[in-house]
Structure 1
Amino acid sequence: MSTDDARRRWEVWREERAEAVSAPYGPLALTGTHWLAEAPEGRIPAIPGRWTPDPGAGSVLLSAAAEDGLTLDGRPLEGRARLRPDGGPAVARVAHGERKLPVLRREGLWAVRVFDPGSPRRRAFAGIDVFDHAVRWALPGRFRPYERERAVLVAHADGRERPLRLSGELVFALGGEEYTLQAGTEADGSLWAVFSDGTSGTAGYRFRFLRLPAPESGRPVTVDFNRAVLPPCAFADHFICPFPPPGNRLPFPVPAGERNPLTR
């Protein structure tokens, strides 16, 4: 691929990325993550209804009156409904006006998230500051899978430690030296790694994510830092992003990819 083609594709990716972040129910719309273990009698100040975990059934029971104004699957909810984890705001069954209320389960704990298209951060969003595209930061590499998946305990943005599942290493070279990033695998086979580098902390973020298409067995991969993205917690305080695992702190600056959200 020519340098011009690579830049054009990167520019399209940048536009699509900004649209996704600023979508009505994108990361900027998240205004709260409410853990039900911390909600007395199932009451959450930010939203109506009574939300009670039912451990035996692996679900949450939601009780609502007509005056609560909640809807379930687009219809007014009056009475009780049993909810299981949603895949995100796009498929959330419960809403309160324009706000979507997806149910979340992490490590056996239940939470309700609030996505509000009218959030202050979404209204103030003016784009994402990025480093300029540089071909030198699209590095040839390979994926070296582990024999079996590993779980490493790492800190998260909310101050808690949780296991991070890792399936292998991205291997690449720079300046004659070989480096690795521990990576996980998504359900579709694509790879992702959370890393920090010599620029971290100088532009409003502490770490970034790198995502790669699903690798073909034995085939090289391109470790393209031009597409390094800010984590969701850079756009809203209520995400619980994982910090880089040991070994994913690169000892040099990577002036490529996203730098900081911009506000009006």
Structure 2
Amino acid sequence: MSMDAGHDGRGPAAWRRWHEARVVAVAAPHGPLSLTGTHWLLDHPDGRIPDVPGRWREDGDAVVLTAAPEDGLTLDGEPFSGEARLAPDRGPIDTSRAARGDRRLVVLRREGLWAVRDFDPASPARHAFRTIDATPYDPRWSLDGVFRPYDGDRSVRVENADGRERGLGLGGEIAFTLDGTEHTLQVAVEPDGSLWAVFADATSGGSSYRFRFLRPAAPDADGRVVVDFNRALLPPCAFADHFICPFPPPGNTLPVAVPAGERNRVDA
């Protein structure tokens, strides 16, 4: 089997397809570059959010949206006026219930607090974007690792990109060997069994963004997992300041340089 035909997607051609798809997804009309604001309702007790039409207030397990015809809002694709109760939006951005023209108004809930996110395809960041600077595939950075689950879920408080601390759930760690030395990264376990690590390394804040994400596929029955730093991801907050990405938890800053994967956003 050739280096590029591996069942796990390893190899330069598979990496190029992944990279090209990432650039397209980031630049999409409602991709991360289109986020122009995350508005916490606690900061707007009167329900009025600057530059966002309608009135938004929390009410128990929902956000109540009140709109007049002149607000120009739609709900579920239809012109909307009156009052509606909205649960958090959990699907793709362009499926949010509330919108105004091409703008999507996404209801978010984190740790009991409600927010409205404004995704605008006309955002300056989206129109300035050119590509993602990423290091071409290098097999040295595609490593065999092992997943070690914790006895129970853990949560650590970490600073987020907006300066607030929030809980980060962790389900275990992945261990891998690089140049003869074992390293570990703490990971969250997603509902589909895949893993998610927030990590930094010796390039972070220099030749790479200040931290990155890694999303290995689900481990096999023996806990084996591919730790492919060629697919290190820029976090959403590398594309828009209004995301609340978690910083790496203690222990997830590698003492080595990882000059692989996505490095920085490149604007025209």
TM-score scaled by length of structure 2: 0.95
Long gaps (5+) in structure 2:
6-10
| Residue from 38, 48, 58 that aligns with 1:43 | 48
For 2:94, the aligned partner's letter is A
RMSD after superposition = 1.1
| Residue from 224, 229, 233 that aligns with 2:233 | 229
Long gaps (5+) in structure 1:
none
Aligned pairs for 1:1-264 (under 5 A) are 2-5=2-5, 6-55=11-60, 58-87=61-90, 88-203=92-207, 205-264=209-268
Task: Tell me how far apart the structure 2 counterparts of residues 71 and 113 of structure 1 sit (CA, whole Å).
Answer: 15
> What do the CA deviations read for 1:108-162 (whole angstroms, capped 9, x no partner)?
1100000011111111111100112110010111111111110011111011111
Task: Tell me how far apart the structure 1 counterparts of residues 208 and 70 of structure 2 sit (CA, whole Å).
Answer: 42
Asked if structure 1 preserves the Cα contact closer than 8 Å seen for 2:218 and 2:225, the reply is no
For 1:181, the aligned partner's letter is L
1:102 Cα shift? 0.7
For 1:97, the aligned partner's letter is G
For 2:86, the aligned partner's letter is L
Q: Report how many residues are paired.
A: 262
1:253 Cα shift? 0.2
Specify the SS of the correspondent of 1:40.
Answer: coil
Task: Tell me how far apart the structure 2 counterparts of residues 49 and 263 of structure 1 sit (CA, whole Å).
Answer: 33
Task: Tell me how far apart the structure 1 counterparts of residues 108 and 159 of structure 2 sit (CA, whole Å).
Answer: 19
Asked if structure 1 preserves the Cα contact closer than 8 Å seen for 2:45 and 2:57, the reply is no
Q: Could you say if the C-alpha distance between residues 204 and 45 of structure 1 is closer, same or farther in structure 2, counting changes exceeding 3 Å?
A: farther
1:173 Cα shift? 0.5
Asked if structure 1 preserves the Cα contact closer than 8 Å seen for 2:12 and 2:136, the reply is no
Task: Tell me how far apart the structure 2 counterparts of residues 142 and 211 of structure 1 sit (CA, whole Å).
Answer: 14
For 2:168, the aligned partner's letter is L
Task: Tell me how far apart the structure 2 counterparts of residues 239 and 73 of structure 1 sit (CA, whole Å).
Answer: 25
> What do the CA deviations read for 1:49-80 (whole angstroms, capped 9, x no partner)?
1101002xx00111100001000001111110
1:4 Cα shift? 4.4
- What is the match of residue 8 of structure 2? none
1:219 Cα shift? 4.2
Query: Percent of aligned pairs with the same residue?
Result: 61
Specify the SS of the correspondent of 1:213.
Answer: coil
Task: Tell me how far apart the structure 1 counterparts of residues 4 and 195 of structure 2 sit (CA, whole Å).
Answer: 26
Task: Tell me how far apart the structure 1 counterparts of residues 192 and 251 of structure 2 sit (CA, whole Å).
Answer: 25
